[in-house]
């Protein structure tokens, strides 16, 4: 991921649905944390008033030009205490995980905590909404991936690595908004027995550290082959594609790809892209440096870690900004906030609107079952209701995707029914695609 793209990734993480990764989550099948685009950023007739600051849809604060950056940082605001990072699995998960289902359930919970606390766009109202609706919003993909891992463990082609899994659960936290996106431990939380080039159905089966199971389609029934990630010194197309612990550095002049390298503290760098996500490149020394603590002076987003950002740089072109938390209502902000918040015109983080409140394209509704329609947060459509695009409840789809001239919301279909996307099928497996319709298939 090149410098501009890496910066854009942090912004997209807040503003919409993450970047360059599969929908929904931290490496659910060995991939990176990513966003879930459930259409909550708008719907038919989307427009209307700015986001509310209180129930009932109070209009957004008017912009106040000339606000002093330091005053924004120092002004007292009544906000809850910052979350404390937990390292005990009994605390993180509610009880120490023993079975595969225990580990998977805790992972889903942690991913949801990260999504609700860090990822913008209001895909879910709260953690419980995410846990209950996540698979439905993904069209069944999450359930299909989890079943594939269960089959692999049962067959002995994959096993849990308790130490890596524990580190993954600690790192996948709303306290680490910036770094949880590509936590290397989550890429290795399973150990596999399938060698490079061998047939696989899930990343968990691959023996090479961080290898991915590549296939020609995204359906649940597709078999693939284990492919290792590029090692240190090898070419790479994007930031998150290297072997765990490495970054895809800035391309050399004239090259269309980067080189996998260490982004550790003190490593040589030319740009922030050459450093780990919890580091930044000091142009003076040409070395990767650790991110700054809350309150430190800063000049760029990447200098502040965890759930903080460099606030104040957009207000003054001469004075530096300061690292400030942007994950709680009332926190100071320049243009973005983490989680189900938006940056109001007064330079404060405000909660996204919920059912019955006013909304807009810039202030989408929070919740998997609501959508912004004509400036108001309304419940998504149920089975049989007329629909247009992505306005149906989680777990349903609009038959407009199949060319229906009178589209309605429909439940996912049984084997043999017409489809052109796996999310339209109960099995999450469709023999067709957007170019050529097929039928829903039954997976072994």
pLDDT of 346 > 70? The answer is yes
- Residue 428, in any domain of the structure: yes
**What's the CA gap between 213 and 203, in Å, rounded?**
5
- Residue 161, in any domain of the structure: no
Is the whole-model pTM more than 0.85? Answer: no
Q: Can you give the residue range of the structural domain that contains 401?
A: 370-439
**What's the CA gap between 146 and 140, in Å, rounded?**
10
**pLDDT given for residue 180 in this prediction:** 84
For the segment 41-74, what is each residue's pLDDT rounded down to a tens digit? Answer: 333 333 333 333 333 333 344 333 333 433 433 4
- Residue 145, in any domain of the structure: no
- Residue 39, in any domain of the structure: no
For the segment 74-92, what is each residue's pLDDT rounded down to a tens digit? Answer: 443 333 344 556 678 999 9
Number of H helices, E strands in the chain: 7, 21
296 neighbors 310 (Cβ within 8 angstroms) = no
- Residue 404, in any domain of the structure: yes
Using pLDDT thresholds of 50, 70 and 90, give the confidence band for residue 22.
Answer: very low
- Residue 150, in any domain of the structure: no
Place of tokens 């996540």: 134
Place of tokens 């942090």: 10
Q: Which of 347, 298, 343 minimizes the C-alpha distance to 322?
A: 298
For the chain, the domain total comes to 1
- Residue 429, in any domain of the structure: yes
**What's the CA gap between 137 and 145, in Å, rounded?**
14
Task: Locate 441 and state its tokens.
Answer: 């298939």
- Residue 14, in any domain of the structure: no
**pLDDT given for residue 49 in this prediction:** 34
């Amino acid at each position: 991921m090149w410098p501009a793209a890496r910066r854009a990734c942090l912004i997209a993480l807040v503003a919409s649905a993450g970047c360059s990764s599969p929908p929904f989550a931290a490496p659910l099948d060995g991939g990176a944390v990513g966003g879930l685009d459930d259409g909550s950023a708008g719907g038919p007739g989307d427009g209307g008033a700015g986001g509310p600051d209180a129930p009932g849809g109070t209009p957004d604060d008017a912009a106040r030009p000339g606000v002093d950056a330091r005053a924004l940082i120092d002004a007292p605001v009544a906000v809850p205490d910052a979350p404390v990072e937990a390292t005990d699995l009994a605390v993180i998960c509610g009880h120490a995980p023993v079975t595969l289902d225990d580990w998977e359930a805790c992972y889903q919970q942690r991913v949801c905590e990260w999504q609700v606390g860090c990822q913008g766009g209001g895909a879910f109202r709260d953690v419980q909404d995410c846990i209950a609706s996540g698979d439905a919003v993904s069209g069944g993909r999450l359930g299909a991936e989890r079943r594939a891992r269960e089959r692999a463990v049962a067959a002995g082609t994959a096993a849990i690595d308790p130490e890596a899994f524990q580190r993954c659960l600690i790192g996948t936290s709303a306290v680490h908004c910036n770094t949880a996106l590509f936590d290397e431990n989550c890429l290795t939380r399973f150990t596999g027995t399938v060698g490079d080039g061998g047939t696989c159905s899930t990343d968990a089966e691959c023996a090479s550290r961080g290898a991915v199971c590549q296939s020609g389609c995204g359906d649940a029934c597709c078999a693939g082959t284990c492919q290792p990630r590029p090692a240190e010194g090898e070419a790479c197309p994007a930031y998150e594609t290297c072997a765990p612990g490495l970054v895809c550095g800035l391309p050399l002049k004239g090259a269309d790809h980067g080189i996998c390298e260490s982004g550790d503290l003190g490593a040589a760098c030319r740009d922030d892209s050459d450093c780990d996500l919890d580091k930044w490149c000091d142009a003076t020394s040409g070395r990767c440096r650790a991110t700054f603590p809350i309150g430190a002076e800063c000049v760029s987003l990447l200098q502040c870690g965890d759930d903080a950002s460099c606030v104040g740089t957009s207000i003054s072109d001469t004075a530096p900004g300061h690292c400030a938390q942007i994950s709680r209502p009332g926190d100071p902000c320049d243009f973005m906030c983490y989680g189900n918040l938006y940056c109001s015109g007064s330079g404060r983080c405000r909660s996204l609107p919920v059912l019955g409140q006013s909304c807009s394209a810039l202030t989408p509704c929070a919740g998997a079952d609501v959508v912004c329609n004509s400036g108001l947060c309304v419940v998504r459509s149920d089975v049989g209701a007329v629909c247009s695009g992505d306005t149906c409840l989680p777990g349903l789809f609009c038959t407009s995707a199949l060319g229906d001239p009178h589209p309605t919301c429909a439940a996912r279909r049984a084997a043999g029914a017409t489809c052109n996307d796996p999310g339209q099928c109960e099995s999450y497996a469709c023999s067709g695609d957007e170019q050529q319709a097929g039928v829903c298939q039954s997976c072994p």
